[in-house]
Structure 1
Amino acid sequence: MRNLSIDVACVGSGPGIQRRQVAISFAKLGLPGTAVVLSLLSNLSFAGTAIVRVEPKLLWRDTECGGANFHDTENQAVQASIACYKARKQPNIYSGDFGCPGPTINGQANRRCSTLQSDNPDLPSLPTTVVSAYYAGSKCPDGFKGGGSSDSNGNSIFYCELVKTKLDPPSKGCPWIGNRIEPTSGVTKEAALDYRAPNGLLKFVRTYRSDISQFTSAVSSSGFFDYSSATLAPMGRCVNGQYNTMRKDASGNTIKASHCFPLMPTGSVATPHALLWDETGRQIDFDMSSGTPVPNADVHDRAVKTTDASGNVQWRLTREDNTIELYAANGALLSRTTADGKTVAYSYSIASTPAAIAPTSGLLIAQTDPFGRTLGFQYNSAGLMTQMTDPAGQAYTYTYDTTSPECAGGTCNRVVQVQFPDQYARQYLYNESSLIGTTTPPSPPLLTGINEVWPATSSSTGQTVRASTFGYDSDGLSTLTQRAGGLDQYTVTGRSSGSVTVTDPLGAQRTTTYQTLSGATYPSRMSQPAGSGCSASTTSWSYDAHGNVASTLDVNANRTCYAYDLSRNLETTRVEGLSNTAACTYTATGATLPASSRKVSTQWHPDWRLETKRAEPGKITTSVYNGQADPFNANATANCAPSTALLPDGKPIAVLCKQVEQATTDADGHQGLSASLQSAAPNRVRSWTYNAYGQVLTETDPLNNTTIYAYYSDTSFTGTDPNAVGHTLGDLQSVTNAKGQVTRYTQYDKHGNVLESVDANGVTTTNTYDSRQRLLSASVGDQSTSYAYDATGQLLKVTAPDGSWLGYEYDAAHRRTAVTDGAGNRIEYALDKAGNRTSQSVKDPSGALARQVTWVLDSLGRLQKLKVSNAQ
């Protein structure tokens, strides 16, 4: 039985903050890597928000054609006036135009003057100057608000402004609920993993966020941008958005158009800033007032300005997930390196790149792991990525919409379908009327549904299955998430300044209140409804000045206290099992603990978020990393990888050389890292060595048994893609155990899946896979086991070498509902709306019920009664 687990609802935006965001058409930015420049920021994220400012779209009117004729450009208005002059022959010879003297708008004249003369003998032939066009208004992208100011001479600065909230809930206690919505900020988030290599290095993930109404990924939104010295919009970058024109279509609908709105410069409207926009859609701001990037106190990413060997400016970011990212001066992501030294490089189109691959320079065309495996990307003429090619040469296709009612006169460029090599596809639905809370469809459109398209097979017809549904209120904030058939449904109500209520799949309601720290919001209290045998209760949190959890009080009135290294926001001490009245002074070094409580103390790597020492009741575990002092070897520098194996910052790769477990006499952990050791207990030691790629070469266990690993030093394949057979540089070649027995890995596919291996007894194992890297068969000697899957990858059948088999059935929400075997036996499962098993029926080959188990759960998903019935 799977118990119902309710995640904590948390807050991503404060009261009064505008929540609907503008869609960005990344393809039109024309940046290396199509890196996103979202904004020039006039407010620090220390206030919890950032202000995006762009120049408005200026509209113009002609002067001579009569009526209210609006034009998108001043040149169109000028040419209209000239045409009307010519039609009347007064005057009709045009010889040029210029900005009329007078006030300006955003640095340009607010009127255009033209020089004309006439060939009509009844009119003077001398050139004359007329006003042929004038400023008639401005338009902002959907979701932006206009503003501006004028000086004493009438010169005006107009802008469009959007207040953006932080794009990720900032608290460590802030997971999303259900099928990925965050209740208080009202953000829907859908992460789609389209490809992942077996070694985990190459992968392609698209992330939809309703607050930007866009899928982001490596091809659309990786960039680090320094605005600190800009006096103009950097490199002419702009935000492509939709705006209402002054015209109507034949049906009377307002026409929308696309325009690339230039970013406003820094200076009087912005504090110097740098901005990271990563491929998940997350935005991180760095204050550049001091010339050095400084993030908000609750941000764990760090940025440094460097130069490469050729003197080119680069930005090096050390991320919270223990990776280093390098960005070019123009903001393009160049590489991502893990702490253990594995690098994925990013390559971009140049002027000579074939147009069939990329229509312009600066588009991401390859993502390559350290061993040469590559994901390739191709684009259409609009710069939208339409095909990804995996290392085996298989194509994944991406389809976009062209027009829609919300984007009439332009294109929304929304992903509407992704098709995989096996023809399975996922479709994305937007602005379904029953799910958007308004009769006026939001623009940009909101993701409201996902369909799974199952291709026809030899044994089944094709079908389209509704897999996910998302609902919103009239402000575009998430109110509903559910899977197929209304299962796993969460609804959000009562969203107000300071609280939000979530109803879970079983109908239980939880209300979360929150507090604001440094402009960001954090959950402070969450109610839990009464269950069987217990009354309603609450969970509460308190925080330090950096937004780290300082203490928690659970529903059973147990308190946990925390202490941190605030320079890096790393937990150094945790005391569990305190009473609800206890103070958090017990985190102090050596403090005596109350009965039934325990302390965990942690020490960290100086450069990485990696534990180097952990003290807990009865045990200390020490982890010694490459390039760090080894306390078990007179503090000599540990050296378990080649000296040439360096990270982008020039330091040794951070691989684990040794791990030592020591028994202590500290029963509750209060002595911390200085606990006394048990003199009679031997240390348990494990150790490793590595090659230049950070791959394990040797592993020695506490009994001093050593396992040796060898890897291929070249790449060699025979046959054609996607069925080529061979090996890639870095693939595991052999494993030799402590007894000298060798297992060889003789064949791989281009993804890195093992196709053939030979064990120490000479027995060959052969594996086959489908186009989605799912294991189809495993043959050991002459004994073969086969596997069958449905279109979504759910295991349907396992057939053993003797022909016996097990079959599996699922509901539309991908939950297992039955298991069958070749003899006709059957087990059926009944599940509630949260996925908890409520009954299990075992039937014999005749279909007769042989045994039934029933579970009764309370509103919290906890077992209350178990009933077992056997056939008589």
Structure 2
Amino acid sequence: MRFLEKLVLIFNLRLKNVRRYLLLTSLFLFSPLCVAAAPPAPLWGPPGFHATPGEACEQSIIDANAWRPGWYESYKLLPGSFSYQKVCIFYGPGHLYASEQEIAASCPYGWYPNGPFAHLMPSEDNASCVCPPGSPVYSPEYQVCISSFSISIDGPAATKVLPAGPSLSMAATVKANGEPGKNWLVTVSVPGGLSISGKTDINGRFKFTYIPPRRPMVARLTAICRDCNNVSTEMDINVTDVPICRADPGMLLGNPVAPVSGAKIQVETDWQDQSAHPLSLVRTYRSSGSQVPVGWGGYWSHNYSAQLVGGDFQRNAQFGNGTLALFTRNTKTDPWVNDSGEYRLEQNTDGWRITRLEDDAYWQFDGSNVLVKIGQRNGWVMTLSYAGGALTQVTNAFGRKLQFFYDAQGHLASVTAPNGQTIAYTLHGTGRPLGVLYPDNRSKSYLYENAQYPDLLTGINDESGRRYATFSYDADGRATSTSHAGGVLSYSVTYPEGNSADKGSLTTGSVDGALYQSSVQTTDPRGNVQTWNYQGGDGTVRTLGASGPFEGATVASRSFADGLNLPILETDFLGNKTTFEWDVSRRLLLKITRAASTPLAQTTQTQWHPALHLPVMITEAGRTTAYTYDPLGNKLSETITDAVSNESRTVRWTYNDQGLVASMTDTRGKVWTYGYDIAGNTTKVTNPLGHVTLYSYSGAGQITQITDPNGVVTANIYDARQRLLSTSVAGQTTTYAYDAVGQLTRATRPDANWIGFEYDAAHRLTAVTDNLGNRIDYTLDNAGNRVAQQTKDPAGVLSRQITRMYDAVGRLQKTTGLE
């Protein structure tokens, strides 16, 4: 039998089943010391099963009998070979067959010296397997020598899409028992086939940078080390959506879409609470990325949800409005650092606490990372209760409750407000909200008509059953247009080529700063094509500038502080400049100068509380305003000083144990006092003369009755949607009527005279009428400007006609007729 044929037989007999073969392929198969320069075709079995003598060995088959006592193979040493132990040790894929001096118990067969030959034959009972250098771990179960070195990926596990970023500093690390694997070849790849390779440094680390894509995704990094026992390892990076700075121009357009990220955002207030510490219910839809799970599918969440995930060196928080906060640290004792500088993360005895620095609001998570409290700076806290992992109740600081109910599939089906009203949801099988039923039995429905992306919101039907809004998307799921009924108030977005749904990239060099900038083109309702430029890189995104037809005061360009998205200079389309100075460490504005470098320049300077994000002194043209606070941030005093006369006026406040204003001392030194009900509503106001005004409230915190110091009563009645239906003052009543959508259609005075209002399907006022038969009709352009107005008398005769012309940016240019 030929040598290769006999090896086939050996491996067939020795490797007992297919599972063993498959497992061996996942291990690194060390090349034998005696291997031919060009090995023959693989034997039967998994790839890598090569076994041939090398240059220093001469094969000699002494006995061809297969695998039985007495069987052996012999390899003759070539002249000049200094040791069969060094040169002719033969081992297959992970197997070692040791020389006589190295064998002991449990090795199935071994090499035996015999003069110029070394023999392969069954081992004695006291044989053992010896692994070659670099592979010191022997697996008796699979009879292979495996490497003790393993590969892992180290670094942050989350970031935000470009241009927000940031890019992540990562490393593929090779170690064994804490010892670094130096100069090991590794390859790192991302989805789509992009990869980089290199060798580990003296610390066993191959350093690289992950550059995120421009759309949310979970990016899976793979690191491969052919010489490691795990061969490859994976790590998921959660790439979330761009944070939206709503104060910046160009961040949100129309009903709204976010051009910087391609997200469609829809905010729906299902129940409005007007009491102290309100328990309003607000839903948010955000089409890109993922939302905090609340029992709904399809990118919906609500304002009582947040999640915290991560480990010792990175933690990621996401809130119900889609906002994400990323935190990192280098060691377990370092403080956590937020990528945008807008939040603070701290571990306390109850778990974890995230504080929003701009207003010191906080979210408290327990030790299992479950949101249990939402608190305010003044000490008011909302407490969240759960059953089976689902939120069931939110209780505010005054004991009022918002309750959540779920269907058999665990989907959020309804919410009961503190006044007992119920908001119910119609749900798709996946939990995606299809509609909402309000307490007045009116419903609104949501449309999802995109076959490629079935969770994308494409339209809204209002409470009248008419389609009110339409949204469209491109092949990458980015919002490309938004409009209202009839195509009015329409905006469209065009994204540049190569700026779509890539998978991210890798580099071992520096990151091109241009990656943190982005430009998109938009078309407004007037047909103007405008370009918006954005700047990111630090976890936030700000508007860098714009070009195209714009109203003069719109920001045309900006420059930012180094490494931070804090503007230091803005220039508008009229050339006016505004400069800014910052406390960079706290991201607090210290100084702003408008019309900078001109005789009209005006500067406002702000000094801040050392611990709270509250101003203590504001200096502006003509006056200064000073504030003092208690430790909870309640304002104790406000003093306005005239810069010319140096006269000061001060108002002071005191508070009760619930954090409500107990008294106010006005600028004349006169004291007003206040009383409250158990819900925190103001029920009594006593003026400095001792005169008392009394108030009563509905379950939603609306004033239902006012009794003034003279005993005059004002009574208010509201509908189930909290809209004012009537106001009666001393028995004289004014009533109000609404259409299905909630638009005011008629106001009737106590003398029965009334005025009526009409609207188009886009919810725009188009006509005004009265009880005498007079009528005013408005003609609107796509942007909502009144371009024509006709007034008719009760007989229908035209009594006045006005036309108006606007320029490309909506400025009134000409009026024809009498206003």
Instruction: Identify the residue that residue 305 of structure 1 maps to in structure 2.
Output: 347
- Pair 548,768 (structure 1): closer, same or farther in 2 beyond 3 Å: same
Instruction: Identify the residue that residue 742 of structure 1 maps to in structure 2.
Output: 692
- Pair 219,366 (structure 1): closer, same or farther in 2 beyond 3 Å: farther
Contact 2:359–2:377 under 8 Å retained in 1: no
Please give the per-residue CA displacement for 1:555-588, whole angstroms capped at 9, x wherever unaligned.
Answer: 0111111010011101001111025xxxxxxxxx
Name the stretch that deviates more: 152-161 or 377-386. Answer: 152-161
Q: Which amino acid aligns with 1:298?
A: S
Alignment of 1:421-820 (within 5 A): 421-432=439-450, 441-443=451-453, 445-454=455-464, 464-496=465-497, 498-518=518-538, 521-529=541-549, 539-544=556-561, 545-579=563-597, 594-626=598-630, 652-664=631-643, 678=644, 680-712=645-677, 728-745=678-695, 747-820=696-769
Please give the per-residue CA displacement for 1:591-623, whole angstroms capped at 9, x wherever unaligned.
Answer: xxx522111101112233222211111111111
Contact 2:306–2:320 under 8 Å retained in 1: yes
Give the TM-score of the pair, scaled to structure 1: 0.63
- Pair 306,380 (structure 1): closer, same or farther in 2 beyond 3 Å: same
Shift of 1:164: 1.4
- Pair 51,836 (structure 1): closer, same or farther in 2 beyond 3 Å: farther
Shift of 1:337: 2.0
Q: Which amino acid aligns with 1:42?
A: A
- Answer yes or no: is 1:362 the counterpart of 2:389: yes
Give unmatched runs, 5+ long, in structure 1: 1-38, 53-141, 229-271, 350-360, 403-411, 433-440, 455-463, 580-593, 627-651, 665-677, 713-727
Task: Describe the SS at the equivalent of 1:708.
Answer: strand
How far apart are the structure 1 equivalents of 2:568 and 2:493? 28
Shift of 1:449: 0.9
Contact 1:315–1:329 under 8 Å retained in 2: no
Task: Describe the SS at the equivalent of 2:525.
Answer: coil
Task: Describe the SS at the equivalent of 2:486.
Answer: helix
How far apart are the structure 1 equivalents of 2:661 and 2:716? 24
Name the stretch that deviates more: 772-781 or 854-863. Answer: 772-781
Please give the per-residue CA displacement for 1:467-492, whole angstroms capped at 9, x wherever unaligned.
Answer: 11111111111110111211110001
Please give the per-residue CA displacement for 1:6-54, whole angstroms capped at 9, x wherever unaligned.
Answer: xxxxxxxxxxxxxxxxxxxxxxxxxxxxxxxxx99535568436899xx
Task: Describe the SS at the equivalent of 1:485.
Answer: helix
Contact 2:353–2:362 under 8 Å retained in 1: no
Instruction: Identify the residue that residue 285 of structure 1 maps to in structure 2.
Output: 326
Q: Which amino acid aligns with 1:413?
A: G
- Pair 40,202 (structure 1): closer, same or farther in 2 beyond 3 Å: farther
Alignment of 1:77-96 (within 5 A): none
Q: With CA pairs under 8 Å and 6+ residues apart, which has the higher RCO, 1 or 2?
A: 1
Q: Which amino acid aligns with 1:684?
A: R
How far apart are the structure 2 equivalents of 1:300 and 1:385? 31
Shift of 1:419: 1.0
Please give the per-residue CA displacement for 1:309-334, whole angstroms capped at 9, x wherever unaligned.
Answer: xxx43424244343122121212222
How far apart are the structure 1 equivalents of 2:433 and 2:656? 42
Aligned length: 587
How far apart are the structure 2 equivalents of 1:51 and 1:807? 63
How far apart are the structure 2 equivalents of 1:430 and 1:162? 29
Residue 275 of structure 1, aligned match among 316, 333, 350: 316
Contact 2:254–2:483 under 8 Å retained in 1: yes
- Pair 608,218 (structure 1): closer, same or farther in 2 beyond 3 Å: farther
Shift of 1:156: 5.7
Alignment of 1:49-448 (within 5 A): 148=222, 149=224, 152=227, 155=230, 159=234, 161=236, 164-169=239-244, 173=248, 175-199=251-275, 201-212=278-289, 214-218=298-302, 221-228=305-312, 272-291=313-332, 292-296=334-338, 298-307=340-349, 312-349=350-387, 361-402=388-429, 412-432=430-450, 441-443=451-453, 445-448=455-458
Shift of 1:143: 6.0
How far apart are the structure 2 equivalents of 1:537 and 1:807? 36
Please give the per-residue CA displacement for 1:141-190, whole angstroms capped at 9, x wherever unaligned.
Answer: x9656664465477465658466144313696353111111113111111
Contact 1:734–1:744 under 8 Å retained in 2: yes
Shift of 1:216: 3.8
How far apart are the structure 1 equivalents of 2:308 and 2:282? 19
Task: Describe the SS at the equivalent of 1:802.
Answer: coil
Instruction: Identify the residue that residue 180 of structure 2 maps to in structure 1.
Output: none
Q: Which amino acid aligns with 1:167?
A: V
Shift of 1:343: 2.2
Contact 1:297–1:546 under 8 Å retained in 2: no
Task: Describe the SS at the equivalent of 2:463.
Answer: strand
Name the stretch that deviates more: 331-340 or 482-491. Answer: 331-340
Give unmatched runs, 5+ long, in structure 2: 1-153, 171-215, 291-297, 500-517
Q: Which amino acid aligns with 2:590?
A: T
RMSD value, Cα: 2.8
Q: Which amino acid aligns with 2:367?
A: A
Task: Describe the SS at the equivalent of 2:414.
Answer: strand
Task: Describe the SS at the equivalent of 2:574.
Answer: coil
Contact 1:313–1:329 under 8 Å retained in 2: yes
Please give the per-residue CA displacement for 1:502-532, whole angstroms capped at 9, x wherever unaligned.
Answer: 110001111123344346554322113288x
- Pair 733,845 (structure 1): closer, same or farther in 2 beyond 3 Å: same
Contact 2:217–2:238 under 8 Å retained in 1: no
Shift of 1:390: 0.8
- Pair 299,613 (structure 1): closer, same or farther in 2 beyond 3 Å: same
Larger radius of gyration: 2
Contact 2:243–2:540 under 8 Å retained in 1: no
Q: Which amino acid aligns with 1:657?
A: L
Contact 1:819–1:827 under 8 Å retained in 2: yes
Residue 812 of structure 2, aligned match among 831, 843, 863: 863
Q: Which amino acid aligns with 2:490?
A: Q
Q: Which amino acid aligns with 1:525?
A: G
Shift of 1:297: 5.0
- Spell out structure 1 runs of 4+ moving beyond 6 A: none
Please give the per-residue CA displacement for 1:61-101, whole angstroms capped at 9, x wherever unaligned.
Answer: xxxxxxxxxxxxxxxxxxxxxxxxxxxxxxxxxxxxxxxxx
Identical counterparts, % of pairs:
34
Shift of 1:707: 2.3
How far apart are the structure 2 equivalents of 1:838 and 1:477? 33
Give the TM-score of the pair, scaled to structure 2: 0.67
Contact 2:619–2:625 under 8 Å retained in 1: yes
Instruction: Identify the residue that residue 33 of structure 2 maps to in structure 1.
Output: none
